[in-house]
């Protein structure tokens, strides 16, 4: 992730809880696994030890990524959202001009994106295409099979 990571207060709290869990319980479990593997003899030929050390590296990388995301996070409140144009945390109802299919998405940060829940990232192609548009505007989104045009039907919080 790059730049500022806009999140809701709930998401930031969730990220901080996960970080605490990874730093405490997660590190303790990995240290125990390394210790058990070390007791099994020669470290040069010990696959369990190698696997435990690799798991430790992945765990520390996850901690670093989460710390970076938290450090660059800025809390966005739904009260401060301007619904005259599409911005982060807005719910946007759009219609594909080609097939007339209508969908509603909420624009969120990369961390919160969940397509099944109707939440798309502001850094996704559709998210980028919608940002700054107003009701009635046509957003052109570059897709692998060409440009897709979406009409903005409504914007809400």
pLDDT in tens, 41-93: 777 778 888 888 899 999 999 999 999 989 988 887 777 777 888 988 889 99
Strand arrangement, sheet containing 119-121: 119-121, 102-108, 91-96, 146-156, 138-143
Contacts of 136 (CB under 8 A, 6+ apart): 151, 152
> pTM of the full predicted structure?
0.66
Q: Identify the residue whose tokens are 């709930």.
A: 10
- pLDDT tens for residues 94-130? 999 999 999 999 998 887 888 999 999 988 999 999 9
- pLDDT tens for residues 54-65? 999 999 999 999
Q: Identify the residue whose tokens are 């990232």.
A: 121
Question: Rounded to the nearest 5°, which phi and psi values hold at 14?
Answer: -65, -45
pLDDT > 70 in the chain, percent? 98
Nearest to 88 by CA among 101, 113, 71, 107: 107
Nearest to 59 by CA among 94, 7, 21, 87: 21
Helix (H) or strand (E) holding 55: helix 47-71
Token duo for residue 110: 């990369």
Nearest to 103 by CA among 146, 157, 154: 154
Domains with residue ranges and CATH for the chain: 5-75 (1.10.287.180), 78-156 (3.10.50.30)
């Amino acid at each position: 992730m790059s730049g500022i990571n806009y999140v809701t207060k709930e998401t930031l709290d969730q990220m901080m809880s996960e970080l605490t869990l990874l730093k405490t319980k997660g590190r303790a479990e990995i240290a125990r696994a390394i210790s058990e593997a070390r007791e099994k003899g020669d470290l040069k030929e010990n696959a369990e030890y190698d696997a435990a050390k690799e798991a430790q590296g992945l765990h520390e990388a996850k901690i670093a990524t989460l710390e970076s995301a938290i450090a660059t996070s800025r809390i966005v409140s739904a009260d401060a959202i301007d619904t005259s144009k599409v911005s982060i945390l807005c719910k946007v109802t759009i219609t594909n001009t080609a097939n007339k299919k209508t969908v509603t998405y909420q624009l969120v940060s990369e961390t919160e994106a969940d397509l099944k829940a109707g939440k798309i990232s502001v850094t996704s192609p559709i998210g980028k295409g919608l940002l700054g548009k107003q009701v009635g505007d046509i957003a052109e989104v570059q897709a692998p099979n060409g440009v897709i045009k979406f009409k903005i039907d409504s914007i809400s919080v």
